[in-house]
């Protein structure tokens, strides 16, 4: 009898044990009479499936990049751009120049400080967009405009790459010029010799000493084997407003490739020459 009773109870005993073990899992899976509140449980499941999603925070719109590749390549009209202002003719050799507002504000301060020291800084070129640079480049490319040594590049350099390299001593390919950016200016005269003696030297010496106080840097410094050894020749007249130009140089380094450069005569040489690496980024290390 004892054995019979024991046999009758044994299956129940096992059943209870198994049920006891299985119960919490079943409850959890069904979400029924669980110890976790339903809300919390659902959140736990959601979190385990999508750990990145934070339900309580609304989706943030991606911050818009400050500058686009189109901007870097000068594909806009500075006269219509909200961040640009015309340069007053008292600071320039004429009218029709545009700069970014920040560049202009700092230039005016620098101009006034220089004037107080008896130095005149006059803008002779400012923002040039892609279309403007294309007209300069193609005039040199076709020989309609002589290059710096007085030669007709089309006649003297029939090989496309050689011709491009010759023009590149002082002129940028459209799409790759710092003059697109609204941060760069040419001052007083497009001739290094002007700045090496007489009143021009005083101007240059003043700039070397003080331009950095206003955020300006000379990107096309003297070339040397251990310093800047690629890119344009030295330009003592060309100055960049670094607080913005630096951002644009960094962006160009990350996003620009030679095959993006096109839409003008001779553009096929851009890849062979390596315009981005050698010219866009081939600047004075102090201006990087
Ligand atoms: Zn320039």
User: At which residue do the structure tokens 């020459």 appear?
Assistant: 273
Please say if the pLDDT value at position 9 is more than 70.
no
Burial (CB < 10 A; 0-12, 13-18, 19+), residue 3, is exposed
Does the residue 36 lie in any domain? yes
pLDDT score for 125:
98
pLDDT, tens digit (0-9, with 9 covering 90-100), for 182-217: 999 999 999 999 999 999 999 999 999 999 999 999
Does the residue 66 lie in any domain? no
Task: Residue 215: give the domain boundaries.
Answer: 71-287
Please say if the pLDDT value at position 44 is more than 60.
no
Q: How far is the CA of 70 from the centre of ligand 1 (A)?
A: 20
Does the residue 65 lie in any domain? no
Q: How far is the CA of 218 from the centre of ligand 1 (A)?
A: 10
* Residue 13 and residue 131 in one domain: no
Q: pTM of the predicted model, to two decimals? A: 0.78
Q: 17 versus 124: which is more confidently predicted?
A: 124
pLDDT score for 53:
54
Q: How far is the CA of 22 from the centre of ligand 1 (A)?
A: 80
Mean pLDDT of the region 67-85? 97
Please say if the pLDDT value at position 19 is more than 60.
no
Please say if the pLDDT value at position 114 is more than 60.
yes
138 within 8 A of 153, measured Cβ to Cβ: no
Percent pLDDT > 90 in the chain is 74
Please say if the pLDDT value at position 36 is more than 50.
no
* Residue 43 and residue 77 in one domain: no
Residues, beta carbon < 5 Å, ion ligand 1: 186, 238
pLDDT, tens digit (0-9, with 9 covering 90-100), for 83-92: 999 999 999 9
Q: Using CA atoms, how far apart are residues 33 and 15, in angstroms rounded to an integer?
A: 20
* Residue 236 and residue 169 in one domain: yes
* Residue 141 and residue 259 in one domain: yes
Which range among 35-39, 109-113, 146-150, 242-246 shows the weakest confidence by mean pLDDT?
A: 35-39
Mean pLDDT of the region 52-60? 65
Q: How far is the CA of 36 from the centre of ligand 1 (A)?
A: 70
* Residue 158 and residue 268 in one domain: yes
Q: 134 versus 5: which is more confidently predicted?
A: 134
262 within 8 A of 276, measured Cβ to Cβ: no
Q: How far is the CA of 239 from the centre of ligand 1 (A)?
A: 7
Q: How far is the CA of 142 from the centre of ligand 1 (A)?
A: 21
Does the residue 56 lie in any domain? no
CA-to-CA separations, 31 to 22, 49, 87, 280, in angstroms, rounded: 14, 17, 71, 62
Q: Read off the CATH number of the domain in which 139 is found.
A: 3.30.1380.10
Please say if the pLDDT value at position 122 is more than 70.
yes
Into how many domains does the chain fold?
2
Please say if the pLDDT value at position 117 is more than 90.
yes
* Residue 22 and residue 145 in one domain: no
pLDDT score for 149:
82
Mean pLDDT of the region 64-71? 90
Does the residue 199 lie in any domain? yes
**What is the spatial order of strands in the sheet that 216-217 belongs to?**
123-125, 184-187, 238-241, 216-217
User: From the CB of residue 228, how many other CB atoms can be counted at a distance below 10 Å?
Assistant: 21
Please say if the pLDDT value at position 152 is more than 50.
yes
* Residue 24 and residue 79 in one domain: no
pLDDT, tens digit (0-9, with 9 covering 90-100), for 160-187: 999 999 999 999 999 999 999 999 999 9
The torsion of the CA quartet 62, 64, 69, 72, rounded to 10 degrees, works out to -150
* Residue 44 and residue 76 in one domain: no
Please say if the pLDDT value at position 284 is more than 70.
yes
* Residue 178 and residue 141 in one domain: yes
pLDDT score for 7:
46
* Residue 76 and residue 39 in one domain: no
User: From the CB of residue 20, how many other CB atoms can be counted at a distance below 10 Å?
Assistant: 9
Provide the pLDDT confidence category of residue 8 given band limits of 50, 70 and 90.
Answer: very low
* Residue 151 and residue 271 in one domain: yes
């Amino acid at each position: 009898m004892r054995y019979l009773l024991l046999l009758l109870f044994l299956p129940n005993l096992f059943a209870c044990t198994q049920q006891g073990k299985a119960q919490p899992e079943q409850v959890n899976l069904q979400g029924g009479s669980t110890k976790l509140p339903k809300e919390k449980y659902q959140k736990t499941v959601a979190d385990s499936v999508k750990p990145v999603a934070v339900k309580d925070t609304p989706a943030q719109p991606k911050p818009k990049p400050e500058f686009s590749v189109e901007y870097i390549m000068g594909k806009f009209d500075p006269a219509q751009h909200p961040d640009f202002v015309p340069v007053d003719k008292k600071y320039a050799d004429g009218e029709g120049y545009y700069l970014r507002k920040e560049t202009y504000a700092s230039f005016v301060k620098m101009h006034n400080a220089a004037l107080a020291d008896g130095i005149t800084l006059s803008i002779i070129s400012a923002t040039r967009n892609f279309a403007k640079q294309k007209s300069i480049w193609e005039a040199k490319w076709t020989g309609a405009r002589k290059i710096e040594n007085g030669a007709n590049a089309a006649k003297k350099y029939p090989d496309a790459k050689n011709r491009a390299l010759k023009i590149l001593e002082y002129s940028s390919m459209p799409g790759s010029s710092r003059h697109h950016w609204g941060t760069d200016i040419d001052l007083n005269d497009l001739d290094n010799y002007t700045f090496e003696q007489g009143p021009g030297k005083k101007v240059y010496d003043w700039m070397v000493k003080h331009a950095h106080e206003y955020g300006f840097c000379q990107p096309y410094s003297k070339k040397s084997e251990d310093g800047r050894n690629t890119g344009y020749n030295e330009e003592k007249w060309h100055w960049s407003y670094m607080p913005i130009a630096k951002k644009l140089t960094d962006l160009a380094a990350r996003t620009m490739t030679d095959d993006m450069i096109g839409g003008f005569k001779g553009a096929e040489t851009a890849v062979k020459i390596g315009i981005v690496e050698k010219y866009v980024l081939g600047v004075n290390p102090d201006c990087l």
